[in-house]
Copies of this chain bind each other. A is one copy, B any other.
Amino acid sequence: MARPRANRKALILKAAIKVFARHGFARARTAAIAREARVAEGTIYNYFKSKDDLILTIFEQTWRDLIQALRAALDPIRDPIQKLAVVLMTVLDLFEADPMLAEVFLVELRQSGKCFSNQPMSVILEFLDLLEAILKEGIAQGVIRKDINTKIARGLLFGAVENIVLGWLLRKTHPDLFKKEKPYTLAEAKETLMKLFATGFFVTPSHR
């Protein structure tokens, strides 16, 4: 009788991320995940209810880890602007460190019926709420303009970040699609993003 290797669950999850990233959720085979995790197919079902449960768990767990990390990192910071910078940095660092996770996140999860069921949405909303709280804090402190709808503003931030990472990722994985362009680093992206969200596209007295 085989003894359970430690961390079977984490092992399977990691394998699933790899396979989902490689083939996409729909074309990913549970057999491939099992092989990647060096586990029997049936074993997956000792830890997860279904293939859907696998991607949902990846999604949820990553968000939870991210939010927890964010709360810790944000706690000592007072300046809302600084807080936004930290959020951005944390997110970009996460995906830069684990591009396969980024792929699964950015590409696979928008399929309705997964992303938009209550379970994963509630954790996205938690992240959005965190963003909104920062905006509101900034408004209260008089640092951030108050003539904006914070619900809209937070989504705007979210989408911008998401697209930045997606663009960066695609330039890495499908360089042929962007033949004439030179890739950018996430650091550059972060800088541009902060500039634009801080003071906008326009040339105004505020930036020379």
Contact = CB atoms under 8 A, between A and B. Distances in A.
Interface string A101-139: 001001110111101101001100100000000010010
Query: Which of A106, A108, A166 gathers the greatest number of chain B CB atoms within 10 Å?
Result: A166
A69 to B, nearest CB: 22
B206 A143 contact: no
Q: What is the total number of copies of this protein in its complex?
A: 4
- Which of A189, A196, A198 has the largest number of chain B CB atoms within 10 A? A196
Interface residues of A, number: 68
B196 A199 contact: no
Contacts of A204: 199, 204-206
A107 B103 contact: no
A192 interface: yes
Contacts of A160: 156-157, 159-160, 163
A79 to B, nearest CB: 12
Interface stretch (A54-62, A90-98, A144-152): A144-152
7 contacts: A145-B202, A148-B195, A152-B167, A156-B160, A159-B160, A196-B200, A204-B206
